[in-house]
Amino acid sequence: MTVVGSTHTDHSVVPGRFAAQLLCGPPASSPVDVVERLLAVQGQDPRGARLAVRARTTGLTATDVDQALTRERSLLITWLNRGTLHLIRSEDYWWLHPLTTRPQLQVGCRRILARFGVSADAADRGVGLVERALAADGPLTRTQLAQRLHASGLPAEGGVAQHVLMLANLRGLAVRGPMMGAQHAYVHVRSWLGNPPPEPDPGRVLGWLARRYLAGHGPANDRDLAKWAGLPVTWARRGLTAIAAELRDRPDGLAELAAAPVAAGVPPPRLLGAYDPILLGWRSREPVLADHQEIVTVNGLFRPFVLVAGRAAGLWTYQGGEVAVDPFGPLSADTAAALAAEARDVQRFLATESALAADEVST
């Protein structure tokens, strides 16, 4: 039984988290399999979300992610946990969205719109316009929807259209679905996904969340889950309590599924993308970033980084189709060779990307 409230952050937990995150052990076979394991992948940086898939699979390309978004409709992006864009499985939308998009997120969105001079009534009219436009003419890109919103009389400042779209997403009316050429388009939820399934039993949803979270993030505790999902810690505790019979005993008091893979060391040298999930699932990033937290994370931005022996060991960039690695210190010949192979694989993976510029940044 987990000891609720444990604050243990010993480095012995890190191998288990690497295994849960698919950075150790057998890779996933598809983008959907990656997202199923991780439940939600932060998605405000489109390239970063795709690179999270690359690091946990073999042989795929960015186009495989785009096909899951577009042709298969098996993945989508919308505002969820903590009011941030996330890549999720379409089938998880119906329970994860109402659970994690709490009313406070809409309040915050309205406040930002008010700073642009958009009243609550005007914001509601804008959301209605988005819903009707997507139902009649979707998919539509952000640019196309912004043009319609501005033509309706809303201010033309860049933040207005973005926050009206966010509000429509939070209300369960729209999501980011298919790629349209170089842009990620919005769709009407029911037109794209069909009618929702019956609502799950509210008493079971938190257990469902805890189980799925631990599958991709365990071992962890109630506060880790609460921070990741953007929910009260009391809710996280209820979820973990609901699945107590499914947890293995740990001397550190952390929660871990009994069926979780046995931890086996740390990953080989890896190039991980911006906002990689290994940095976003727990309260503390110290076990991975150590003394480099203020280099890898700057003013809320998470940069692509080099992982060696389970720790951040440098930064890297991708420009003009080429990867450049900037290590924090000297690398062994074997590590340098492994990272060179990683760089070639990143270039292969991204060679087919449709449009991975971060054209939409969450608030």
How many DSSP H helices and E strands does the chain contain? 16, 11
Task: Give the per-residue SS3 of 55-87.
Answer: CCECCCCHHHHHHHHHCCCCEEEEECHHHCEEE
What pLDDT score does 354 carry? 55
Contact, 266 vs 288, CB < 8 A? Answer: no
Give the pLDDT score at 358.
41
SS3 30: coil
State residue 352's pLDDT score: 83
**HEC readout, 304-336:** CEEEECCEEEEEEEEECCEEEEEECCCCCHHHH
Measured distance CA(241)–CA(282) in Å, rounded: 19
Q: Specify whether the CB–CB gap between 310 and 14 falls below 8 A.
A: yes
H or E element in which residue 5 lies:
none
Cβ proximity of 228 and 281 under 8 Å? yes
Q: For residue 262, give the 3-state DSSP assignment.
A: coil
**pLDDT (0 to 100) of residue 2:** 44
Contact predicate 297/279, CB 8 Å? yes
Is-contact 52 45, C-beta < 8 A? no
The set of residues, in sequence order, having a beta carbon less than 8 Å from that of 45 and lying 6+ positions away, is 273, 274, 275, 302, 358
Residue 266 φ/ψ, nearest 5 degrees:
-120, 165
Give the three-class secondary structure for 153: coil
Those residues whose C-beta lies under 8 Å from the C-beta of residue 117, and which sit 6 or more positions away, are 155
- Residue pair 222/237 in contact by the 8 Å Cβ criterion: yes
Digitized pLDDT (tens) for each residue of the chain, 363 residues in all: 444 444 444 557 899 999 999 999 999 999 999 999 999 999 999 999 999 999 999 999 999 999 999 999 999 999 999 999 999 999 999 999 999 998 899 999 999 999 999 999 999 999 999 999 999 999 999 999 999 999 999 998 879 999 999 999 999 999 999 999 878 999 999 999 999 999 888 779 999 999 999 999 999 999 999 999 999 999 999 999 999 999 999 999 999 999 998 777 899 999 999 999 999 999 999 999 999 999 999 998 999 999 999 999 999 999 999 999 999 999 999 999 999 999 999 999 999 875 444 444 333
The sign of the CA dihedral 263, 265, 270, 276 is positive
Q: Can you name the residues that pair with 147 across neighbouring β-strands?
A: none
The pLDDT value recorded for residue 157 is 82
Q: Pairing state of beta strands 311-319 and 301-302?
A: unpaired
For the chain, first and last CA: distance in Å?
Answer: 37
Q: What is the pLDDT of residue 8?
A: 45
H-run or E-run covering 141:
none
DSSP state of 221: -
CB distance 225 to 239 below 8 Å: yes
- Exposure string of 246-264, with b = 16+ CB inside 10 Å and e = fewer, is bbeebebbbbbbeebeebe
| Phi, psi of 88, rounded to the nearest 5 degrees | -140, 165
Domains of the chain by residue range: 1-101+172-363, 102-171
pLDDT of residue 181: 84
Beta strands in the chain (DSSP E): 41-42, 75-79, 85-89, 174-180, 183-188, 270-272, 297-298, 301-302, 305-308, 311-319, 322-327
pLDDT the model gives residue 200: 81
Q: According to the model, what pLDDT value does residue 6 have?
A: 44
Dist. CA 325–CA 315, nearest whole Å: 6
